[in-house]
Amino acid sequence: MNNIKYLFSVLVLALLFTACKDELEPTNTPFVALENANSIIALNSGEKKVVELKLYAANIEGSDREIEVELVNSEVVSKAVAANLYSYTLPATVVIPSGSNAGVLQIAFTNVGIEGCVATEFKIKLKEKEGMFFGLNKHTIKLVKTPSPFDINNFVGTYIATGTSNSGEALESHEVTVVAGPTATTLQINNMLRPNSKTIVELNNDDPSNPYIDYKSAEYDAALFQHGLGPIYATPAETVSTFRTCDNSMDLTFKMCLGDGRCFPGANHIILTKK
């Protein structure tokens, strides 16, 4: 008898599970979502580009489906347009055509005055509509000026250095010079930490979306200063040092170490801004 009761219970649970599964996976559901949530658009001065944002429905219908589009950060956009950063054209609606499950929202931008490292955001959303269910319905577009091609020679010049020491104290703003280094991919930074200090850095731009700086000071005997135990070199810290081609600035985080690997505690953080 117990075995019969057990088998009956298993059968009931199986039937319940099947019923729930059918309810969770209905057919012909009017579900709509954007393809992605973010994009970056790079524009040269005066250049016009049309951004295409794709949206998809889970079903196909026999008539056009029109969805209203709303500008979310209208105040930010209005200020950017008033400041002559860019102009734009945003359709009031986007359509998923009859017989299709996909639509395309086209937004046109013209770079009027986005320069240097200026970045501004343009946010839209699909407005809710009766009879439709929405997944991802918001998208943020970041507008930037097309970055200059990487040329290490553009980083040669005079900079203002600011930042903090390895003990966390603020450093006095001071002037440093950057000159060509011992190889085609390196630079020599003079007076970065104190007068007569030298640092050799190598700029790597193999992945333009993730540029980084490596330290070659010990390799070329370019010391920050002399210590009783020997020369002290700038060496990589846990935080990766980076650079930007849009304004040729450098963000440097480094430890101070002897040639044998022994280091002072903490790390220096210095930002070099080109004059």
DSSP state string for 236-255 = E-SSPBEEETTTTEEEEEEE
Rounded CA-CA distance 222/157 in Å is 19
Could you please state the CATH topology (level 3) that the domain comprising 28-145 is classified under: Immunoglobulin-like (2.60.40)
Range 152-274 classified under CATH 2.40.128? yes
Reported pTM: 0.64
Residues 273, 275: Cα–Cα separation, whole Å: 6
Give the mean model confidence (pLDDT) for residues 28-55.
91
Domain with CATH 2.60.40.1510 in the chain: 28-145
Distance CA 115, CA 23 (A): 54
- In this prediction, residue 17 carries a pLDDT of 37
Give one word for 180, left, alpha or beta, with left for phi > 0 and alpha for psi -120 to 50: beta
* pLDDT for the residue numbered 28: 63
Residue 230: C-alpha distances to residues 195, 199, 261 (Å): 18, 16, 12
High-pLDDT (> 90) share of the chain, %:
79
Query: Exposure of 238 by Cβ count < 10 A (0-12 exposed, 13-18 middle, 19+ buried)?
Result: exposed
Closest CA to 109 of 85, 124, 88: 88
Q: Which residues make beta-bridge pairs with 187?
A: 180, 201
| Model confidence pLDDT, tens digit, residues 55-114 | 999 999 999 999 999 999 999 999 999 999 999 999 999 999 999 999 999 999 999 999
Specify the DSSP class assigned to residue 127: P
Tens of pLDDT along 7-27? 334 333 343 333 333 333 434
Number of C-beta neighbours around residue 261 at 10 A: 8
Q: What is the mean pLDDT of residues 142-154?
A: 90
Residues of the chain with CATH 2.40.128: 152-274
- Chain CA centroid to CA 41, Å: 12
